[in-house]
Amino acid sequence: MTERDPRIDALAASDLSSAAILASLIGMLGAKGILSDSEVREVYEQALYLLDAHQGDEPEARRIYEAAREIIEAQLR
């Protein structure tokens, strides 16, 4: 069995913490009335747009972009 590269876990942890902080920030801005519900929705819609615009054609990355899209779309439901 191949040993797992610890850099992958560090990268995943960094991305996860960034996503959690950003989602918390968006939620707090909405809760405080700084962003309206439609503006909060627009933030997530813009994130989807940016994913689509920067996805590229690499088949290996397609699953990652699809998973990211699903996570963002869950916030829009």
Q: What is the 3-state secondary structure (H, E, C) of the chain?
A: CCCCCHHHHHHHHHHHHHHHHHHHHHHHHHHCCCCCHHHHHHHHHHHHHHHHHHCCCCHHHHHHHHHHHHHHHHHHC
State the average pLDDT over residues 46-69: 86
Give Cβ neighbours of residue 39 (< 8 Å, ≥ 6 apart): 30
Does residue 64 register a pLDDT over 80?
yes
Q: Is residue 17 part of a domain?
A: yes
| For range 45-59, the mean pLDDT | 87
Q: Tell me which residue range forms the domain holding 40.
A: 6-76
Q: Is residue 57 part of a domain?
A: yes
Average pLDDT over the chain, rounded to an integer: 88
For residues 61 and 34, give the distance between their C-alpha atoms in angstroms, rounded to a whole number: 35
- Structure tokens, 18: 């960034």
Please check whether residue 39 lies inside any domain of the structure.
yes
Is residue 1 in a domain? no
Q: Which residue has the higher pLDDT, 4 or 26?
A: 26
pLDDT at 1: 63
Total count of domains within the chain: 1
